[in-house]
Amino acid sequence: MKVAIVGAGLTGSLLACYLAKRGLTVTLYERRPDPRVATAERGRSINLAISERGLDALRRIGLDATVMADALPMKGRMIHPVAGALDFQQYSASGDRAINSISRGALNNALLTAATAAGGVTVEFEHRLCELDSAAGRMVFQTPSGKVSVAADVVLGADGAGSAVREQLLTEGIVAEDVDFLDYGYKELSIPAVDGEFALDPGALHIWPRGTSMMIALPNPDRSFTCTLFWPAGSFDALTTAEAIIGYFGEHYPDVLPLAPDLVDDYLHNPVGVLGTVHTLPWQAHGRTGLIGDAAHAIVPFYGQGANCAFEDVVELDRCLDDTGGSWARALPLFEARRRENTEAIADMALNNFIEMRDKVASPVFRLTKQVEHT
Ligand code: FAD
């Protein structure tokens, strides 16, 4: 039984680890070069909040300790008003629960290394899927030395929100998709360490709520912070000069300005990312081609649950294979039946949390309500 996974991101690499444990022969096809030797792309979500849902998936294959070794637990939100004192809002009443800031690159590398260390997994980098016959399991990849045709018994699309596998299934008329783009974009900025120390409290997820927009910051193991601006899509273009950028941040994010020496360079050169929710129906075809993770159900990042949710997918697909005696034809529809309701729920919650983070967290009424909930 040969399984092809398209995409060696977080979902594809974790899935390869799980399928290798089942004794399957797996080939991961990734359009990018090996991230363990290539340099990271500028401005692409450097860190992630991984919660218990994601950790559970890592724990089951013994990778939790490796990943957690460099994690920074964040026990609450730190609210930064334009003026006035910071406000720390603990995530749990007891204060012992946290979400963990983890490097996306380090996590992906750890998963890739674990996948290749498990027998039966091969990774083909610089292979971009460009054609798929979902009934026959035939694929064509664009590689640096031309096009390559391969076949597999099972093809799993773990190739992210803009999935080429999903695109091919759409072209074949097998799936329907609905992509709701948010009228907001995101841009990353950095706050470096000051004299080797964190410039902000590393035990919190920092939020600058500004009504219709916001900025957040998560700590990194090198004691820097990665900030992400979430602004209405067109508004990034309004600031085009160093003077305008510094003036704007001085007015709206005054405590950040002295901590971000590369602000102007980051702002002018880091890309603006798009945000959206992907709804796909169904997630599988012919019992041999399936979608998983963002390829099936990408969500907006405001609950910090996209990767966590994708990791839960992998655990559930593995469970479905257990429950069907390893029959992909039965496991793929079962996986969809069990996961769809959950992924739709988190998609809605993620959209709602944007309003909470950019606006409600700054309100005294919200703070009082949370205190009552905790008692
Ligand atoms: P991706 O990470 O997109 O990986 C897909 C892989 O497929 C990539 O390696 C890509 O190169 C490859 N690929 C694509 N097309 C092809 C092709 N044609 N052929 C071969 N390979 C291909 N989630 C959290 O849980 N916590 C967070 O805090 C969090 N923060 C986020 C912040 C931002 C700004 C954003 C945008 C997202 C955030 N997410 C977060 C969501 C998380 O990044 C995604 O849910 C997660 O990356 C999904 O993993 P994936 O492997 O399914 O897709």
Counting atoms of ligand 1 from 1, which one is nearest the CA of 295?
Answer: 52
- pLDDT of 43 > 60? The answer is no
Q: How far does the centroid of ligand 1 lie from the alpha carbon of residue 127, in Å? A: 17
Q: Give per-residue burial for 156-192: e unless 16+ CB within 10 Å, then b.
A: bbbbbbebbbbbbbeeeebbeeeeeebebbbbbbbbe
Q: Are 31 and 126 in contact (CB under 8 A)?
A: yes
* For the chain, the helix, strand and coil percentages under 3-state DSSP, each to the nearest 5: 40, 30, 35
Counting atoms of ligand 1 from 1, which one is nearest the CA of 32?
Answer: 11
The predicted-structure confidence for 60-76, as pLDDT tens digits, reads as follows 999 999 999 999 999 99
ipTM of the complex: 0.99
Q: What is the mean pLDDT of residues 29-50?
A: 82
Q: Which residues line ligand 1 (CB under 6 A)?
A: 6-12, 29-32, 45, 48-49, 128-129, 158-160, 164, 186, 228, 273, 293-295, 301, 304-308, 310
Q: What is the mean pLDDT of residues 4-11?
A: 98
> Ligand 1: which of 5, 30, 186, 317 to mutate, most ligand atoms within 8 Å of CB?
30
User: 2-73+102-180+276-347: CATH homologous superfamily?
Assistant: FAD/NAD(P)-binding domain (3.50.50.60)
**H or E element at residue 162:** none
- pLDDT of 373 > 90? The answer is no
For residue 41, the model assigns a pLDDT of: 62
Domain positions in the chain are 2-73+102-180+276-347
Q: What is the mean pLDDT of residues 156-167?
A: 98
- pLDDT of 180 > 80? The answer is yes
- pLDDT of 39 > 80? The answer is no
Q: What is the mean pLDDT of residues 99-109?
A: 96
Counting atoms of ligand 1 from 1, which one is nearest the CA of 128?
Answer: 19
* Pairwise CA distance, residues 136 & 163, whole Å: 19
Q: How far does the centroid of ligand 1 lie from the alpha carbon of residue 246, in Å? A: 32
Closest C-alpha residue for ligand 1 atom 45 = 306
DSSP label of 292: -
For residue 374, the model assigns a pLDDT of: 47
Q: How far does the centroid of ligand 1 lie from the alpha carbon of residue 226, in Å? A: 17
* Pairwise CA distance, residues 298 & 127, whole Å: 22
The predicted-structure confidence for 255-311, as pLDDT tens digits, reads as follows 999 999 999 999 999 999 999 999 999 999 999 999 999 999 999 999 999 999 999
Counting atoms of ligand 1 from 1, which one is nearest the CA of 308?
Answer: 25
Q: What is the mean pLDDT of residues 183-193?
A: 96
The predicted-structure confidence for 108-121, as pLDDT tens digits, reads as follows 999 999 999 989 99
For residue 355, the model assigns a pLDDT of: 84
